[in-house]
Amino acid sequence: MRIGYLGLGAMGGALSAHLAKGHDLTVMDRNPAAVAALVDMGAKAASSAADLARACDIILLCLPRTSDVREALFASGGLAEGLSPGKLVIDQTSGNPGQTTKIAADLAKQGVQMMDAPVSGGIPAALAGRVTIIASGPDAAWSRAEPVLRAMTDKVFRCSPRVGDGQALKLVNNAIGAGYRMATLELVALGRAAGLGLAPMVATLNAGPAANFTSRNMLAGLVDGRSTTNFALSLMVKDLNEALALGVATGSSMPMTAGARSLMQMGLHLLGAAAKLDDVIPLTERLAGVSLTGDQTTASKPLLAQIELATVVCNLIAVSECLAMGRRFGLSGEEMARILAVGSAWSAVSDDILPAMAKGSRPALRWSLKDAEKALSALSLHAANLGLPLVLPQMALAYVQDARTWLGGKANLGQITFGYDQV
């Protein structure tokens, strides 16, 4: 099988390196050094996109945006000039589902199959062959694509036969992860300003119900003094913009996602276009006026317990609002539950929410809305007294307060799951 790969950036380069080990691979990129690295592994270099398409049976793309994919395909000298009936295009871009569906329809006029297969998990995981690939597309395309995708990682999931659903589910995944990331960092910054040590806070979060992908990766890496991702912050903002656009199109309220996007957008303006996702750590420090690293100077078990419960609530809201959007878009609750459990959308709370969602029921969580409001209110006052912003936890407090009015003071925290079971 002759395979082509166009787009050898950080993610595309890592993924295509696995294909170079045992396949007839032809590659192309605007960066000569990226092409040379793959040629050194045994790949061949194409002189143009059209030539790459002529030489290959299956062509994969991994580009920053769907607009880049359309240009790579249909611009003068693009892939479409070398595509012929029976060939397969696999788009690994974290792109726009609706636009990708239109591209697939245009390619079908040439007798060319298409599916999408975006990636979740970061560059280190891609290099190690441990990323999650979320694929969608017709049966015939999937049967040809599956062995190629499994050459990159053993975590390959097909979520739907509808082209674009993989990208939609990737947006759900990234929006959940962004909500975790910014809310958890804000709460840890508050704890540091109040004198709690980073390591004890991270240990507490990771040992209990507040654990999430951010606490177990980014924050654990911060404790160890290591970076965990070189993913571009601009691309994460792009993904969040796409997720919010889906939210608008489906009539879904997504305050946690919107708040996370706003904070990251501010970071992009402050830190510059070259900023990486890990740079939200110094961003949080600048906004809060406190270093996230450091030892404990005060002992406050009640404060640590409040931060833990507040993180649980923020995790719950981040997951629930995005699940509701995915359901309204037409994604299967069962497939979302299966796939989101293994990537950056994971949290201890999602272990409760996702199985319940798949069954169409509400999760039973042990905390009451009253307890959640008490913890978030106390932290809001702490932040005000210390002169810190507290954007996402404050949003969570507003929602919990409204939910107590709707549901009554004795309501369980699991009842505020944004109505995903009503979709």
Q: Are the CB atoms for 63 and 118 separated by under 8 Å?
A: no
Domains of the chain from N-terminus onward: 2-163 (3.40.50.720), 169-422 (1.10.1040.10)
pLDDT, position 423: 41
pLDDT, position 419: 52
pTM (two decimals): 0.94
77 Cβ contact partners less than 8 Å away, ≥ 6 residues apart = 48, 49, 50
Strands 113-116 and 44-45: unpaired
Across the 423 residues of the chain, what is the mean pLDDT of every consecutive 10-residue run?
A: 95 96 95 97 97 98 96 98 98 96 98 96 87 96 98 96 98 97 98 97 97 96 90 94 96 95 97 96 97 92 97 95 94 92 91 81 84 97 97 96 84 73 46
